[in-house]
């Protein structure tokens, strides 16, 4: 009797905003309300690690109160993907990686991107709506600064993936918690707070640059 030896499972986890997607979802959503600059300034401070992620997320989402939910969905269908996103995901999958997205942003943004890019899964937050209008409330799996580190351990355990066979890529402070659980730690066009923890640094807006380090 012959047994086929299974390939070693590998995992690649990408942040969404300013990593897989070129920009910040919440900034795009704030634009119709005329609050883009206010929201962007809070986002910048949070990604640099100068604000608590949970508190900044709650504050920013509260500013979206009153936006039509369908308008938010429509905006998120057309978010600009980062140059090289398609090619990078395809190449990683050819190498045997399961490719997933972790985002402190929102499922209405990550799920369309998951479908376009062929990701294996997306983990993100939910914008609460009532009667077709955003209430300014948010909930989900990625609410805290430690959430990505918590989730990556759970996904690794479920798939049977080792730290050695894990790659992570992000740009901001809420990605730091993933880095201890990956051998390949990519800071992509990142804030200094993340670069300090990385062993791969890409400063060009081209995700295919990551492939040069694998």
Task: Using the structure block, give the residue that is written with the tokens 């400063």.
Answer: 203
**What per-residue confidence (pLDDT) applies to 2?**
43
Catalytic residue among 17, 27, 141, 175: 17
Strand order through the sheet with 97-106: 133-140, 121-130, 97-106, 10-15, 166-170, 184-188, 200-202
The answer to whether 27 is a known catalytic residue is no
Phi, psi at 25, each rounded to 5° = -50, -45
The answer to whether 175 is a known catalytic residue is no
Instruction: State percent of the chain over pLDDT 70.
Output: 97
Tens digits of residue pLDDT in 77-117: 999 999 999 999 999 999 999 999 999 999 999 999 999 99
Tens digits of residue pLDDT in 174-187: 999 999 999 999 99
**What per-residue confidence (pLDDT) applies to 6?**
52
Catalytic residue among 15, 122, 141, 171: 15
Does residue 173 contact residue 160 with C-beta atoms inside 8 Å? no
Which residues touch 6 (CB under 8 Å, ≥6 apart)?
none
Tens digits of residue pLDDT in 154-165: 999 999 999 999
For the segment 120-126, the average pLDDT, to the nearest whole number, is 98
């Amino acid at each position: 009797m012959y047994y086929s030896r299974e390939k070693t499972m590998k995992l690649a986890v990408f942040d969404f905003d300013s990593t897989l997607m070129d920009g910040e979802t919440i900034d795009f959503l704030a634009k119709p309300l005329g609050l883009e600059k206010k929201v962007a300034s809070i986002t910048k401070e949070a990604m640099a690690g100068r604000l608590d992620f949970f508190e900044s997320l709650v504050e920013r989402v509260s500013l979206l109160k009153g936006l039509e939910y369908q308008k938010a969905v429509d905006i998120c269908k057309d978010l600009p993907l980062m140059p090289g996103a398609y090619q990078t995901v395809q190449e990683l999958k050819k190498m045997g990686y399961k490719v997933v997205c972790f985002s402190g942003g929102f499922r209405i943004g990550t799920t369309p991107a998951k479908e376009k890019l062929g990701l294996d899964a997306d983990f993100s937050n939910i914008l609460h709506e009532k009667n077709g209008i955003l209430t300014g409330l948010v909930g989900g799996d990625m609410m805290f600064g430690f959430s990505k580190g918590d989730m990556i351990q759970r996904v690794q355990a479920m798939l049977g993936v080792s730290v050695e066979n894990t790659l992570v890529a992000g740009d901001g402070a809420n990605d730091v918690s993933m880095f201890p659980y990956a051998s390949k730690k990519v800071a992509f066009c990142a804030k200094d707070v993340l670069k300090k923890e990385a062993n791969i640094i890409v400063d060009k807006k081209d995700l295919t640059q990551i492939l040069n380090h694998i």
